[in-house]
Amino acid sequence: MAAAVSLNNVDVAFRLADGGTYRAVAQASLTVADGEFVAIVGPTGCGKSTLLNIAAGLLAPFSGGVEIYDAGLSGLNRQAGYLFQADALFPWKTAADNVAIGLEIAGIAASEARARAQQWLSRVGLGTFGDRYPHMLSGGQRKRVGLAQVLIRNPKILLMDEPFGPLDAQTRQIMGNLLLDLWSADKKAVLFVTHDLEEAIALSDRVVIMSAGPAARIIGDWKVPLARPRDIAEIKLDKAFHDLHREIWQVLRAEVIKGYAQTEAA
Amino acid sequence: MGSVRLLVLQALVAVVAIVLWHVLTTYPVFGKILLPPFFFSNPVDVAEQVVKWFVSGVIWKHLWITLWESILAFVIGSVGGVLVGFWFARQPRVAAVFDPYIKMVNALPRVVLAPIFTLWLGLGIWSKVALGVTLVFFIVFFNVYQGVKEVSQTILANGRMLGMNERQLMRHVYWPSALSWIFSSLHTSVGFAVVGAVVGEYLGSAAGLGYLIQQAEGIFDVGGVFAGMFVLAAFVLVIDAVVSIVERRLLVWRPAADSRP
């Protein structure tokens, strides 16, 4: 089976204002198989979002290779949809227009784009909210619109950067279940970045752990042996969940402390 | 505060001001008229003058000229500001080269340009339009420049990931963002278009509200000056109301939080 995303020895470096370079990620290798849900977990500032931007083609690696379905990536990754951490909806478009825009710019007739946008809004539970502007929606509702906006284009790969980070705990759970629901329908390859280990285990097939930066590396890779379909709230009571959580946390804890110490020092 | 009560209080301010004006210009206080009518006129004379203008119909021609000059100044200045603003924001090198000159021209008091425009364009409407354009252009230009430069990087990246090309980004991201900045300055730029027209008329013309005021001043007709000012104020209020309606229509997507006291 072809890997949807394959990063080979990727190094990421940023030029600093004083002329030096900051090495954010070092020698990162990671593959996401077709239809696989992979979560990247790491302490704050470890460069996990950077790795996601590399896979999206928004950022070019300093060295190393990026392959999308066995083809080298140059420029933007046209097979991927990206759900951002910050609000990325167009504030001047209604929810329906925000969802439809991906189809409209691809040259699909406005009437059809609108009809399909309406279907997608219903799928994310916002069927009657189509004429609202983003500022009239709650944080969770905006994320739902964002999901519909990305998924309507039917990308083969879904990249998610702490998408539920700003939401409260209950809303996160609901959004997590919604995401699993939508994902199970056609099993896209997912790369999901989060700092929340519980969320990572509950959602994904594999959990990848990154060390604290600078020069963050991938230091662990666990398969999640939990059956699907899952319910995010209930699976957290499962014994297998606890065992895995304890095992990964052993590794992650040291990095979190290191990362925290560095952000304090900075 | 209830809207009726607010309206009553607002009207009360005008009534008190006019009554004070009338009393102080008509009745002696301690044997002396505090505001001599020669310098301050009085509300009755001013009202008479305004009514006379409207009854005889002479005012319409002047109002029409001023309105037309303001509209032309606003449209030409805005189109220019939008085009140059977009161009500079997308070409930082061009912006850097022209930066000192933009600042220089913007710092210039526009009144000193009026004689030059009169020489170049004559005493007709175009010298007034030109003056208004120099005012409107910079307001719109700076706002478009800011609007395009300060587009959220996340929204821009989202547009790219959704498959937008440069032209589509322009239409769906840069343009609406710039538009919101233009509209937030719409009241100012429309106001300046009127200022340009009236000041231009005042400095040399054959028609318009500025011309009326200047003519009255020339024969020490203070009542005429005040009457011209009142008509001008009412004119600006009407234009401002129209702008508010247009704004509300076009910026429905913006949260209304900042309009609450």
Q: Identify the three-state secondary structure at position A165.
A: coil
State residue B185's pLDDT score.
82
User: From B168, which residue of chain A is nearest by alpha-carbon distance?
Assistant: A105
Q: How many CA atoms lie within 13 A of A177 on its CB side?
A: 13
Mind giving me the DSSP string for A16-39?
Answer: -TTS-EEEEEEEEEEEEETT-EEE
State residue A228's pLDDT score.
87
CB contact under 8 A, A105 and B157: no
Any residues with CB less than 8 A from the CB of A52 and at least 6 apart, and which? A40, A82, A159, A160, A161, A191, A193
- Do A65 and A9 touch, CB atoms closer than 8 A? yes
Chain B residues within 8 A of A78 when measuring between CB atoms = 163
Using CB atoms, pick whichever of B161, B168, B253 lies closest to residue A82: B161
| Residue B55 tokens, joined | 């009854």
Q: Quick one: how far is CA B209 from the chain centroid?
A: 14
State residue A223's pLDDT score.
94
| Residue A74 tokens, joined | 């140059």
A6-10, A17-21, A63-67, B135-139: least confidently modelled range: A17-21
Number of helices followed by number of strands (H, E) in chain A: 8, 10
A207 to chain B, minimum CA–CA distance in Å?
25
User: From B175, which residue of chain A is nearest by alpha-carbon distance?
Assistant: A92
State the pLDDT confidence band at A34, using cuts at 50, 70 and 90: very high
A–B interface: beta-carbon pairs under 8 A:
63
Is pLDDT of A238 > 80?
yes
- Residue B123: exposure state from Cβ atoms within 10 A (0-12, 13-18, ≥19): middle
Residue A188 has φ and ψ, to the nearest 5°, of -80, 160
State residue B255's pLDDT score.
74
Return per-residue pLDDT of chain B as tens, 261 residues. Answer: 788 999 999 999 999 999 999 999 888 888 888 888 888 888 999 999 999 999 998 899 999 999 999 999 999 999 999 999 999 988 889 999 999 999 898 888 888 888 899 899 988 899 999 999 999 999 999 999 988 888 889 999 999 999 999 999 999 999 888 888 888 788 889 999 999 999 999 988 889 999 999 999 999 889 999 999 999 999 989 998 998 888 888 877 877 654 433
Any residues with CB less than 8 A from the CB of A157 and at least 6 apart, and which? A4, A5, A32, A55, A68, A77, A79, A80, A81, A188, A189, A190, A191
Measured between CB atoms, does A133 come within 8 Å of chain B?
Answer: yes
Using CB atoms, pick whichever of A58, A86, A153 lies closest to residue B162: A153
State residue B261's pLDDT score.
37
User: From B176, which residue of chain A is nearest by alpha-carbon distance?
Assistant: A92
Measured between CB atoms, does A22 come within 8 Å of chain B?
Answer: no
Q: Identify the three-state secondary structure at position B82.
A: helix
CB contact under 8 A, B157 and A84: yes
CB contact under 8 A, B154 and A56: no
Encode burial over A120-153: b for 16+ CB neighbours within 10 A, e otherwise. Answer: bbebbebeebbebbbeebeebbbbbbbbbbbbbb
Enumerate the CATH 1.10.3720.10 domain ranges in chain B, comma separated. 41-259
State residue A80's pLDDT score.
94
Chain B residues within 8 A of A153 when measuring between CB atoms = 162-163
Using CB atoms, pick whichever of A86, A90, A106 lies closest to residue B163: A106
Mind giving me the DSSP string for B174-208?
Answer: IHHHHHHHHHHTHHHHHHHHHHHHHHHHHHS-SSS
| Length of chain A in terms of residues written | 266
Whether pTM exceeds 0.90: no
What are the pLDDT digits (tens) for A188-233? 999 999 989 999 999 999 999 998 878 888 989 999 999 988 998 8
| Residue B256 tokens, joined | 């209304």
Using CB atoms, pick whichever of A93, A105, A134 lies closest to residue B164: A105
Q: Which of A58, A78, A105 to mutate to test the interface with B (most CBs of B within 10 A)?
A: A105
CB contact under 8 A, B157 and A135: no
Using CB atoms, pick whichever of A78, A80, A90 lies closest to residue B155: A90
> Which whole-number Å values give the CA distances from A114 to A80, A83, A98, in the listed order?
22, 21, 10
Measured between CB atoms, does A153 come within 8 Å of chain B?
Answer: yes
Q: Domain A3-79+156-265 is of which CATH architecture?
A: 3-Layer(aba) Sandwich (3.40)
**For chain A, how big is the Rg over CA atoms in Å?**
19
| Residue A135 tokens, joined | 């500022």
Report the alpha-carbon angle B108-B109-B112, nearest 5: 105
Chain B residues within 8 A of A56 when measuring between CB atoms = 161
State residue B259's pLDDT score.
42
| Residue B213 tokens, joined | 């005021």
State the pLDDT confidence band at A84, using cuts at 50, 70 and 90: very high
Using CB atoms, pick whichever of B160, B163, B253 lies closest to residue A91: B253
Going from N- to C-terminal start, the domains of chain A cover 3-79+156-265, 87-154
Q: Give CA–CA dist B168/B175, Å, rounded.
A: 10
More confident residue, B41 or A100: A100
Is pLDDT of A160 > 90?
yes
B152 to chain A, minimum CA–CA distance in Å?
8
CB contact under 8 A, B253 and A87: no
Q: Dihedral sign, CA of B237, B240, B245, B251?
A: negative
* Section A148-153 average pLDDT: 95
Q: Domain B41-259 is of which CATH architecture?
A: Orthogonal Bundle (1.10)
State residue A1's pLDDT score.
59
A153 to chain B, minimum CA–CA distance in Å?
8
- Do A45 and A22 touch, CB atoms closer than 8 A? no
Measured between CB atoms, does B158 come within 8 Å of chain A?
Answer: yes
Spell out the alpha helix ranges (H) of B91-221.
92-107, 114-121, 125-149, 153-161, 166-169, 175-184, 186-203, 209-218
**For chain B, how big is the Rg over CA atoms in Å?**
23
Chain A residues within 8 A of B159 when measuring between CB atoms = 90
Using CB atoms, pick whichever of A56, A87, A92 lies closest to residue B176: A92
- Residue A211: exposure state from Cβ atoms within 10 A (0-12, 13-18, ≥19): buried
